Amino acid sequence: MSIHKIQGMRVHRINIPARAVHSHGSGDVSGIHSVVLELTTDTGLTGWGEASPWPVFTGTAEGNAAALHTYFRPFLIRADPVQVERHMLAADRALVGHPEAKAALEMALLDLTGQIAGLSVCELVGGRMRDDIGMSFSVANPDFNADLEDIATLWDDGVRIYKLKTGFAGHAFDLMRVERLRALYGDEIDMRIDYNQGLPAYDAVRRIKDFEPFRPTFVEQPVKMHEREALAHIAHVVDLPIMADESVFDPRTALYGAQIRIADIFSLKIMKSGGIRRALEVAAIARAAGIEVYGGCMFETGLAHAAGAHLMAAVPDLRLGCEFYMATYYALDDILVDPFPVRGGRVHVPTGPGLGVSVDPEKLARYAVAPALD
């Protein structure tokens, strides 16, 4: 038991506009719609968490704000913040689903616990296996010429990993973009493909094989979330590594995925698993099955990116990097006091106690889309 008690809880809803529309196999996105959780203790500490839902993938901002404000508040006020698992089980008992709200809750609790212990979140959950992580940028502008200009700028910044979003404008357009990037940047570019469920299962194998000459590092989630057996079949018959994203959310779906060898790689996301520690359970299942992991994210501010960076700092093996680029290269602004640390194409894992980042209240007010709930 710690001497600290949670005294205050405030739920903010924000929308930060994006620099450009990003298109995906499951629709367009033009901003960051997040729910920010602020927990304060009677000892003067503040812990921060973020829920970043995507309605066509996980859930809604409205639902996650209600999850935190209405369903989680009763067991949090006057509670000891360091009893993290106890609170996470209470959240599961109070409300089915809503993994983003649960991720926000765990994030704020671990932020407080880390400040109390004088340790970074990655150290609380296992240790700092690495100080920095290669960062992938998602190429998802329907205007490919705009993307080429962005890539040229990012290339100068040292970014070498690019994930092309495919399956939203036709197979010929997808092949043209991949071929063009390989021709322009040669072997120096680490190119990946993400369909976001955009391929019809019956024709997926043939279309994916068309990319083999261009040697993408992996092909992510070609088919629908629930077409898990089809995804396993694709991973079995295609030489290119296949990554499961939408089809593997949490330890339970990861276990089934490992049993049917659904893919060669799992994308870890705290917004899918409901927090860092459940994502580490997914990573443990993957590791036992010989499946690689990757640091995925939703449309997030630097706050959730910081939590993702701590997660990916703590996984035992990491060869494929992460995609925590939103705060630096997608959103027009961020809510952190200091910029989310990206340098030379790499994410630098924050080193301070807790999440190691702090939120600017003035930015929360500026991007608010509703009055804060408290």
Instruction: DSSP letter for 161, please.
Output: E
Shortest Å, Cβ 287 to Mg ion: 21
Chain positions 96 to 125 lying near Mg ion, rule: CB under 5 A, are none
Shortest Å, Cβ 269 to Mg ion: 8
Is 38 or 245 the residue whose CB approaches Mg ion more closely?
Answer: 245
Shortest Å, Cβ 15 to Mg ion: 22
Is 125 or 326 the residue whose CB approaches Mg ion more closely?
Answer: 326
Chain positions 144 to 183 lying near Mg ion, rule: CB under 5 A, are none
What distances in angstroms separate CA 212 from CA 161, 170, 209, 245, one per listed residue?
18, 18, 5, 21
Shortest Å, Cβ 243 to Mg ion: 8
Of 265, 268, 294, 246, the C-alpha closest to 103 is 268
Is 67 or 265 the residue whose CB approaches Mg ion more closely?
Answer: 265
Q: 359 forms bridges with which residues in the sheet? A: 336
Is 102 or 163 the residue whose CB approaches Mg ion more closely?
Answer: 163
Among the listed ranges 86-94, 99-107, 240-248, 324-332, the one in contact with Mg ion (CB under 5 A) is: 240-248
# residues contacting Mg ion (CB under 5 A): 2
Shortest Å, Cβ 323 to Mg ion: 8
> Within 10 Å of residue 278's Cβ, how many Cβ atoms?
23
- What distance in Å separates the CA atoms of residue 286 and residue 254, rounded to the nearest whole number? 7
187: tokens are 């072997």
Among the listed ranges 11-19, 198-206, 241-249, 271-279, the one in contact with Mg ion (CB under 5 A) is: 241-249
When binding is defined by CB under 5 A, the residue of 245, 264, 323, 334 that contacts Mg ion is 245
DSSP string of 124-155, one letter each residue:
HTT--S-SEEEBEEEE--SSHHHHHHHHHHHH
Is 29 or 67 the residue whose CB approaches Mg ion more closely?
Answer: 29
369: tokens are 């889309």
H or E stretch covering 48: strand 46-51
Shortest Å, Cβ 312 to Mg ion: 15
Among the listed ranges 96-104, 184-192, 239-247, 281-289, the one in contact with Mg ion (CB under 5 A) is: 239-247
- What distance in Å separates the CA atoms of residue 199 and residue 204, rounded to the nearest whole number? 6
Is 110 or 225 the residue whose CB approaches Mg ion more closely?
Answer: 225
Is residue 300 a contact point for Mg ion (CB under 5 A)?
Answer: no
Of 67, 93, 90, the C-alpha closest to 373 is 67
Is 69 or 269 the residue whose CB approaches Mg ion more closely?
Answer: 269
Q: Is 163 helix (H, G, I), strand (E, B) or coil?
A: strand
Question: Are residues 267 and 239 in contact, defined by beta-carbon separation less than 8 angstroms?
Answer: no
314: tokens are 């703590």
Among the listed ranges 237-245, 268-276, 298-306, 342-350, the one in contact with Mg ion (CB under 5 A) is: 237-245
Among the listed ranges 2-10, 147-155, 187-195, 348-356, the one in contact with Mg ion (CB under 5 A) is: 187-195
Shortest Å, Cβ 289 to Mg ion: 20
Shortest Å, Cβ 196 to Mg ion: 6
> Nearest to Mg ion by Cβ — which residue?
245
Instruction: DSSP letter for 346, please.
Output: E
- What distance in Å separates the CA atoms of residue 198 and residue 227, rounded to the nearest whole number? 12
Is 198 or 354 the residue whose CB approaches Mg ion more closely?
Answer: 198
CA 36 to chain centre: 15
Of 281, 234, 220, the C-alpha closest to 254 is 281
Is residue 194 a contact point for Mg ion (CB under 5 A)?
Answer: yes
Is 194 or 264 the residue whose CB approaches Mg ion more closely?
Answer: 194
Shortest Å, Cβ 220 to Mg ion: 5
Q: Is 319 helix (H, G, I), strand (E, B) or coil?
A: coil
Question: Are residues 335 and 14 in contact, defined by beta-carbon separation less than 8 angstroms?
Answer: yes
Shortest Å, Cβ 138 to Mg ion: 9
Which residues would be at the binding site for Mg ion (CB under 5 A)? 194, 245
